[in-house]
Structure 1
Amino acid sequence: MKLFLLLSFSALMLLEAYKFTDETDKKSLLEFKSQVSEGRRSVLSSWNNSSPLCNWTGVKCGRKHKRVTGLDIGGLQLGGVISPSIGNLSFLISLNLENNSFGGTIPQEVGNLFRLQRLFMGFNYLEGAIPAGLYNCSRLLTIDLFSNFIGQNVGSEVGSLTELVVLDLGLNKLNGKLPTSLGNLTSLRELGLGDNNIEGGIPDDMARLAQMVNLDLSVNSFSSVFSPVVYNWSSLEYLNIFRNGFSGNLRPTFGNLLPNLRGLYIGNNSLTGAIPTTLPNISTLQDLRMEVNGLVGSIPPGFGKLRNLQSISLHSNFLGSNFSGDLDFLDALTNCTQLQSISVANNTLGGDLPTSISNLSINLMELTLQMNFISGSISRDIGNLISLQSLWLGENMLTKTLPTSLGTLSGLVELSVYSNKMSGEIPFSIGNITRLEKLYLSNNSFEGIIPTSLGNCNYLLQLYVENNKLSGTLPLEILKIVRLVVLSISDNYLTGFLPKDIGRLENLVMLYVEHNKLSGKLPETLGKCLSMEELQLQGNFFEGTIPDISGLVGVKEVDFSNNYLSGSIPIYFANFNSLENLNLSINNFEGKVPTEGKFKNATIVSVFGNKNLCGGVLELKLSPCLSQELEKRAKHSSLSKKVVIGVCIGGSIFVILFIASVSLCWLKKRKKNKTNAATQPTFGTFHEQISYGDLRSATDGFSSSSLIGSGSFGAVFKALLPAQNKVVAVKVLNMQQRGAMKSFMAECESLKDVRHRNLVKLLTACSSIDYQGNQFRALIYEFMPNGSLDMWLHSEEVEEIHRPSRTLTLLERLRIAIDVASVLDYLHVHCHEAIAHCDLKPSNVLLDNDLTAHVSDFGLARILLKFDQEYFLNQLSSAGVRGTIGYAAPEYGLGGQISTHGDVYSFGILVLEMFSGKRPTNEVFGENFTLCSYVKSALPERVLEVADEFILHSGLRIGFPAAKCLTLVFEVGLRCCEESPMNRLAMSEAVKELISIRESFFRSRRRARR
């Protein structure tokens, strides 16, 4: 009887459970569906009253009671919000909603699911806080809320989930500190909190997590010394604290404390010291990432013992000593047969590249050694690395040729050897690398032709071969690679035409062909490259008119300067909204310069050196277009010719009479008042006239309170011109000083026709008589609010009221050096006639609001084509040595002729002073010691000893090797100030090398942010 009652009761319970499911679980799921957006797929169409509940998509029921125990609808592209009705599924064990587009908050009712063991809601758009009720689910083994927008803290209630195995809350907006209650999760094996804003350190109470397997704390704000708690998790297999603020040294016994590690990800922190030699004792290690820290010392050869090692990333540290032996670890890594990736770029590794790299694992896919001091040559057996996809060897000191065996690496996608000292021809076999996408061969000494076999590389996106010694023509085969985005062949010796096939490159964004020997007309098809953003064709022999490129509306940079192009300037440039620079200088363009759109801004448009151009905005300083209009009419009518002649003759007579009348009045006024309005002997009609009285008033009688500087031939005052409401700098020459008048005329003559963004702009001049009847000469310049470079480099010598509030950073000094080098290159090469500055020094380099450099003081400048040896000797005898002691080239002191080589020497001294902080006349230099020899003796091992100490404490990033940057910059300076003028670096080469160093800086900073 009892058995019958028991069976009856069980049957009733099962019936009740089934009835409860049908009425409750189904209702709950339909309410859930009502707040879900399915899109077009209708993946929940089976969720209806006519279909059995346990057959619904994603629904799993229990075997006995038919209650819903699992709901798996992850990755079905669902949206909407999560209904609170989900909390009525009281038998639910597993809930998977991940990889959808659910928004809103996690309902508190989830806390009613007391049987829940696995919760997956990652990769949605959930927000708000983690519901406190969730911690009532005491049976939870897995919580995955990765990649949502959940905020607030990690609640201390999490400690109540003592059976939790997986907790992944990564990529949310959690903040605050980790609660100590996390230590209660003694069953936890995986903890993921990456990509949040959690701060502080790892609580000591977490040491109880002895069974921890995977710890992911990456991309947070953890700080302080690397927590000793981590060392208590001896079973830990994956440790990820990537991109935090951890500092200090790793324990020397690190490898003995975590013997089961498979993955160690501690990059992008502030760790210092050496890599523990015990680290290779972790025999299970597969992935090692310690990049972007401050690690020093050598890379342990012991890594060769790690047979399971698959990747090692140590880039952007300070590893190595720039000596042989730094690369011994590569020999050891040949034992790691599973190795797939090696990245040790951006360190200070030296020595010859070992031939053993060809014996590395045949599974190796990435080898990155760039931005070091590696010398030697690439092994001819490099082709043994048959799986190689990326080979980065740029910015080293490699020599000799590219091995032909590279052609056997058919899977190679990226090949970079830029900025080395390699030579020889580019091997034809390189065309066998048919999957090649990026090829960087620039800044070497490669010669011969560009291989036509590159046309086989149909996947090529970027081709950089600039700044070599390549000759021949641009291969037509390359112009058939329709995927090409960047084509850079500039600064070579290429000849021939720019082929019409260039129009095939519809995806081309950047075309650099400047400074070659290309000629002929520009192809009309150039206008078909609709993706173009940068078009650099300057410094060739192109002729004819500019083709119709009106379709390139997204172009930002267009440079056609230094060619033989002619015709009118196309008006459509005015409507290029993205245009940032249009350089048409030094050509044969003619006609009117437009004044609409982009042509309104003279800082964007450059047209100097085109004798037949007229009009344009006033800042371009071109003549009006009246004469051109008269000439045009004269072509259509002989009568018009006569009219023109009549007008010209009549006008000439009128002008002569007018000038005579004005001159007579002027002379009378001068005799009566002993004063005189300013005249402008060299500046034309576009410069304002300024009188002595105006300048005297604007400078408060040339008072000391307005004085901002002084030099050999006069003083400089700050002045506010009321009529123009403009602050200017007025250089008043001391006419009692011998050579002052010549200095005045030299400055006027040098600057009247030049235009460059890094020249101090000469606004006008004043040639007059002061109130005592003495000659008065003044030059009015654009005012530079940040003073001279000299006061920034030697602020301790400046009065406190004028002292800069801070020092110049490494990057700022590099930019200033590039600015100065650029303007010297312009003066020496790109002006109508070469100009030698003759007095370059820090006090003649002025800085604007943005710390952009502007070269000033052309009082000793000379237009080189206008004087011969006799003239030079006369100048030398009257003015003494050209320039300033310490900066003047040694040949000037021996009576040598003025040349651009003298400016190069001065620039070299300027660079050494900028980065060492020492003047060339510093008292530490004795008779047998100069600034040059002082710097040279320290390179490269002791470069930081001679560097300006302020550089090392002003804005340097951990990931950027300061020693390498300073070494390269000092080498440029030393090559500029060679004793023999003919051995000095040309300014164009100096500009390129400094820009290359700056680009390395930016690349390092970008990597440091990753």
Structure 2
Amino acid sequence: MAKKPPTKLLIPLYSLLIITFTLCLIPSQIHSSTFEGDILSLREIKHAIDPNSIPPSSYINSWDFRVDPCEGTGSQFLGILCDLPLDNSSSRVTAIDLDGIGYEGFLTSYIGNLTELTVLNLNNNKFRGPIPETIGKLRKLTRLTISENFFTGFIPQGITQLKKLQYLDLSSNRLSGTIPNDMSGLRSLTYLSISNNNFSGRIQNLTGLWQLNTLDISFNQFYGNLPNLPMSLRNLHFSHNILSGHITPLKDLIHLKWIDISDNKFSGVIRRDVLSLKNVVHLNVSFNRFATLDVVDYSGQGQQLKLLEAQGNHLKGRLPVNLVSFTNLTILNLSNNEFHGIIPKEYGMKLRTTWRRLYLDHNFLMGNLPLEFSHIATNVRGSVANNCLKCPTNVVMCHGGQRPATECVGQHNV
């Protein structure tokens, strides 16, 4: 009689198959791995950096591709943020925020494949070469900062396609050319800095940047008149360019708090309607070609001005007494101009109360000092040297001496 095959093990094997099949039908609760294209892009970014510029403690050194970028531990892939999808789709890299540790190399064109990026920060490194045109593919970017590097070439036209961009900082590089004509189409921008580069040309109408709070184009070679500017501006940095003409357009920017147009070729009058902007705290018009400072009495008008720098111009006439009507003013610099006449006694009273810095040196002021200049507080700084004053040598602000008499002849008639 033939033996029946044993059936004792068939039930467990069958049950195991059922269990395995059932588990396959249950949705996975584990996040899927990083999108393969993002991994490739991160590899290329690291590959484009000189390995000799990657210290052991740096973020880039933690990019270990033996693990998944979006699923590694806290000590891996530093400077990377990912989204974490709830479905079975792949994780995507949403932010690259590198440490400013001096990485040397290039920004690869593969950066354009990270299409879910919202933040890209490469500040304070030594990246060189052009900004890749593929950066225009990062349509979800809200923040792009690559300052303090060695990037060269023009601003890529693709940047004008980043319509969600709110913060753009290209400062302190070696970029050149002009501001792209379509830059004013970035309607979401609140901060724009291209300072400390080699940009040149005229500045086009920027009123389309209607949400812009800060505009910094200082330390470039822009020329021509002031452009039309957004009404929303609060901080205006135009210093160290070759801009010229009058500054009348500033009078309409009623939200301005900080104005620095120093070291240009502006001329004419520092108008009262610019000085009367109620929110301005800092006004620097130094090293231009202004001839007149037009100041009226602002008592009771609520001006916030704390600092007025107007040195190195061609300002003539007598010192404007109405400057004492700025109740918040603490720093006043009118040095290196052509003022003549006496120093108003009201200036002396302000030194005893609210003024903390007063520079009137290198003018043609004459006569006696107000008595208060001899009894200023130790926290007050300033100078009245190189004028035509009768200045006691024991007064600190007189140190440096006065002009020779031959330079002072006739100045009272100016």
Say which of 252, 266, 285 aligns to 1:266: 285
Residue number in structure 1 paired with 2:303: 283
CA-to-aligned-CA distance 1:357-416 (integer Å, 9 cap, x gap): 35545543x312221122142567x7xxxxxxxx6621228xxxxxxxxxxxxxxxxxxx
1:166 and 2:179 correspond: no
Superposed displacement of residue 260, structure 1: 0.5
Residue number in structure 1 paired with 2:173: 148
Deviates more, 1:228-237 or 1:34-43: 34-43
The whole-number CA distance in structure 2 between the counterparts of 1:249 and 1:328 is 24
The answer to whether the 8 Å contact 2:393/2:399 transfers is no
The answer to whether the 8 Å contact 1:283/1:305 transfers is no
1:185 and 2:209 correspond: yes
The answer to whether the 8 Å contact 2:297/2:325 transfers is no
Q: Which amino acid aligns with 1:109?
A: T
Residue number in structure 2 paired with 1:621: none
Structure 2 counterpart SS, 1:36:
coil
Residue number in structure 2 paired with 1:863: none
Say which of 22, 32, 39 aligns to 2:53: 39
Change (3 A) 1:288 1:274: closer
1:372 and 2:397 correspond: no
Structure 1 counterpart SS, 2:280:
coil
Residue number in structure 2 paired with 1:357: 373
1:394 and 2:408 correspond: no
| Gap runs ≥5 in structure 2 | 1-26
Larger radius of gyration: 1
1:127 and 2:152 correspond: yes
The whole-number CA distance in structure 2 between the counterparts of 1:69 and 1:376 is 65
The whole-number CA distance in structure 2 between the counterparts of 1:320 and 1:162 is 49
Change (3 A) 1:330 1:94: farther
CA-to-aligned-CA distance 1:590-630 (integer Å, 9 cap, x gap): xxxxxxxxxxxxxxxxxxxxxxxxxxxxxxxxxxxxxxxxx
Say which of 90, 106, 111 aligns to 2:136: 111
Change (3 A) 1:210 1:160: same
Equivalence map 1:898-909=2 (5 Å): none
Change (3 A) 1:311 1:943: closer
1:26 and 2:46 correspond: no
Equivalence map 1:727-746=2 (5 Å): none
Change (3 A) 1:348 1:142: same
Say which of 341, 346, 350 aligns to 2:357: 341
The whole-number CA distance in structure 1 between the counterparts of 2:164 and 2:30 is 24
Equivalence map 1:607-622=2 (5 Å): none
The answer to whether the 8 Å contact 1:75/1:100 transfers is yes
The CA RMSD over aligned residues, in Å, is: 2.9
| Gap runs ≥5 in structure 1 | 1-10, 383-390, 398-418, 420-935, 946-962, 964-1010
CA-to-aligned-CA distance 1:302-340 (integer Å, 9 cap, x gap): 44454543422211111232xx4446423224321xx54
Q: Which amino acid aligns with 1:394?
A: G
Change (3 A) 1:944 1:259: closer
Superposed displacement of residue 27, structure 1: 2.1
Quick check: which one's strand share is greater? 2
Instruction: Give the total of aligned pairs.
Output: 375
Structure 2 counterpart SS, 1:253:
helix
Q: Which amino acid aligns with 2:69?
A: L
The answer to whether the 8 Å contact 1:357/1:379 transfers is no
Change (3 A) 1:229 1:64: farther
The whole-number CA distance in structure 2 between the counterparts of 1:12 and 1:145 is 43
Equivalence map 1:544-583=2 (5 Å): none
Structure 2 counterpart SS, 1:45:
helix
The answer to whether the 8 Å contact 1:192/1:216 transfers is yes
Superposed displacement of residue 220, structure 1: 1.0
Structure 2 counterpart SS, 1:223:
strand
The whole-number CA distance in structure 1 between the counterparts of 2:79 and 2:401 is 55
The whole-number CA distance in structure 1 between the counterparts of 2:303 and 2:181 is 37
Residue number in structure 1 paired with 2:257: 237
Task: Between the two structures, name the one with larger relative contact order (CA 8 Å, sep ≥ 6).
Answer: 2
The answer to whether the 8 Å contact 2:254/2:278 transfers is yes
The whole-number CA distance in structure 2 between the counterparts of 1:49 and 1:325 is 72
Change (3 A) 1:40 1:34: closer
The whole-number CA distance in structure 1 between the counterparts of 2:318 and 2:256 is 27
Change (3 A) 1:333 1:69: farther
The answer to whether the 8 Å contact 2:319/2:343 transfers is no
1:217 and 2:242 correspond: no
The whole-number CA distance in structure 2 between the counterparts of 1:50 and 1:358 is 74
The answer to whether the 8 Å contact 1:242/1:267 transfers is yes
The whole-number CA distance in structure 2 between the counterparts of 1:333 and 1:25 is 63
The whole-number CA distance in structure 1 between the counterparts of 2:377 and 2:212 is 37
The whole-number CA distance in structure 2 between the counterparts of 1:148 and 1:939 is 45
The answer to whether the 8 Å contact 2:343/2:369 transfers is no
The whole-number CA distance in structure 1 between the counterparts of 2:264 and 2:99 is 31
Quick check: which one's helix share is greater? 1
Say which of 37, 49, 59 aligns to 2:80: 59
Superposed displacement of residue 95, structure 1: 1.3
TM-score normalised by L of structure 2: 0.82
Structure 1 counterpart SS, 2:41:
helix
The answer to whether the 8 Å contact 1:261/1:282 transfers is no
Superposed displacement of residue 84, structure 1: 1.1
The answer to whether the 8 Å contact 1:296/1:318 transfers is yes
Percent sequence identity is 25
TM-score normalised by L of structure 1: 0.35
CA-to-aligned-CA distance 1:257-305 (integer Å, 9 cap, x gap): x110011111111011234235786631122111111112233344445
The whole-number CA distance in structure 2 between the counterparts of 1:144 and 1:373 is 47
The whole-number CA distance in structure 1 between the counterparts of 2:398 and 2:95 is 50
Change (3 A) 1:250 1:307: closer
CA-to-aligned-CA distance 1:875-895 (integer Å, 9 cap, x gap): xxxxxxxxxxxxxxxxxxxxx
The whole-number CA distance in structure 2 between the counterparts of 1:325 and 1:241 is 27
CA-to-aligned-CA distance 1:188-240 (integer Å, 9 cap, x gap): 1100111111111122x43xx111001111111111222x3211100011111
Q: Which amino acid aligns with 2:251?
A: Y
Structure 2 counterpart SS, 1:254:
helix
Structure 2 counterpart SS, 1:102:
strand
The answer to whether the 8 Å contact 1:249/1:273 transfers is yes
The whole-number CA distance in structure 2 between the counterparts of 1:357 and 1:26 is 69
The answer to whether the 8 Å contact 2:271/2:293 transfers is no
Change (3 A) 1:40 1:82: closer
Residue number in structure 2 paired with 1:904: none
Superposed displacement of residue 145, structure 1: 0.8
Structure 2 counterpart SS, 1:249:
strand
The whole-number CA distance in structure 1 between the counterparts of 2:289 and 2:383 is 22
The whole-number CA distance in structure 2 between the counterparts of 1:304 and 1:943 is 24
Change (3 A) 1:248 1:282: farther
The answer to whether the 8 Å contact 1:80/1:101 transfers is yes
CA-to-aligned-CA distance 1:40-70 (integer Å, 9 cap, x gap): 6241211111345244122223355753222
Q: Which amino acid aligns with 1:30?
A: R
The whole-number CA distance in structure 1 between the counterparts of 2:385 and 2:407 is 20
The whole-number CA distance in structure 2 between the counterparts of 1:166 and 1:330 is 41
Superposed displacement of residue 99, structure 1: 1.5
Structure 1 counterpart SS, 2:129:
coil
Q: Which amino acid aligns with 1:350?
A: M
Superposed displacement of residue 109, structure 1: 1.0
The whole-number CA distance in structure 2 between the counterparts of 1:106 and 1:263 is 34
Change (3 A) 1:249 1:48: same
The whole-number CA distance in structure 2 between the counterparts of 1:376 and 1:368 is 11
Residue number in structure 1 paired with 2:65: 49
Change (3 A) 1:308 1:155: same
The whole-number CA distance in structure 2 between the counterparts of 1:135 and 1:374 is 57
Residue number in structure 1 paired with 2:332: 312
Equivalence map 1:374-523=2 (5 Å): 374-377=389-392, 393-396=399-402
1:198 and 2:222 correspond: yes
